[in-house]
Chain A
């Protein structure tokens, strides 16, 4: 049962062949069996899973369930879960238990069968899940390597069968890059497509909640479950949610596919480029019109991102001050209390980005850095508009390399940031982007990224489904 797709398991649950409770038990056993090696979870929630699975089973008997309910889900520990500890991978929230559920989880269904809260880089800052206060997650393909990040726990859990699918969050690649490094599918929807309410904020103008799954169909189904307008998130899109499964098998005949030349240069490992080229070649065979696309400002996207994201972080993380929730370090005066609490509660990367963002926003530097980065963002959006007037879908690698060894980049923040070069253009523009496993390089999975225009997820998923079919890769359970 553990190696099924979520859609496959959902069908068995609907048909009564397997109960949701049996599925939850299987996931719980798997977590017990391999978690000491993988560390995909900050907090496994076996009792929550069983209790809710029983409720779903009862509702199934009464015929009151939606197609995805009952399939156990892994939830990144950045999403607030009522009554279940939510740490964000940080010591500062070690004992924090939210008072309400994130809206995306509410949309999923009333009895969300949750396997556990998945490990992540602290406050979703990082590309390896090594910046967690709860220890690194290991890649099920090779336990000496990172799973990517920041949603590395979610990716590893899905790859290793500690759950059938997961929700991650993506600010500058945090769903797509770990999906790529763990050989699964990761979808960052259009900004605003899924409510951010209850998502503990990192970069408010960039953060997106997205599915991490074993195939493209599961990604479509999970997006269907969580998407929608939310009056409690003023940036959530007030646009109708289409049927994401309807066009899935439509193929790519006549579809215009542009390979982004700026994201296929020597900064990308040769083995990664080869896999992307091979998949694109297969799409051409399947009838796609393939050409070269250009996003000229992609050369400046990483730099703009590493100004805008830290600026938003420095503002968002100001709320962790020892007053209303989380850790408090005692001190004589309130200012010393703030300083000590934040010193003890935050890890190195969080501190680095708070400092970088505060500097970029401080008097005398604002125009040179933050305002300039916001203008690059405007240019990036114009680049996408131009490229997507010629092509329906853009293609690039998801990550410049396959999974790297644990510890390889921890002393060099710049080397770590370079992991995001292919992911951040879509983040800045707010367009949807998906990573699918395209094949292997040196025995490790390579992600192929597809991007399309705002709110065209049905088209993107259809192209991704065809690419998945064309790729030399099939999901197999790891470990």
Chain B
């Protein structure tokens, strides 16, 4: 197995001693098939135990290890060293405040996620004796792609709208709202629309499409947001142009 001396330039920030972040360079011997997260783990184990970063599964499922790798939002467990020949610059996810080193403050995203109610809200309560909610494979396929979101926030780090207007509900939260709106078992769309179909919601999106380009799970948030725009526009026409004006 080939080894390589990898140079990492890591953005460090210690809230107790630093007024602003600074880069620190590490040199660490890595195996060719390693990912950036392995290199960070090697640094932490053998060079600098004070380095802070989040990770858990090491298999692109938990969504914890999102970072900027050479300026691109990446899951560090999914960023192979062989794809980065020179010095690798590692920074905390863009557009989020830095808590410490590579750890960001995710509170804003978590709050927005709660606001869109990303869970099934049945149209009518159903007693357990009535059995399960059934769904055909076609009904499942309608939303399945959007259910693959792992809340890694890479889409927020790539989104210039979120960078410029932090009130924007953002790609992942609106995509998850759309995922539940499309679910045949759900009846909560009207509640979600109060948050989603607003200026700070989907109408802040100008379809840059960066979210879909960086999504590690091929969820295509940009697609979801455009579909929400189409559906919200149809709502408006139904409300204002149809006789009776009801949705």
A binds B: no
Q: Give chain B's interface residues, CB within 8 Å of chain A.
A: none
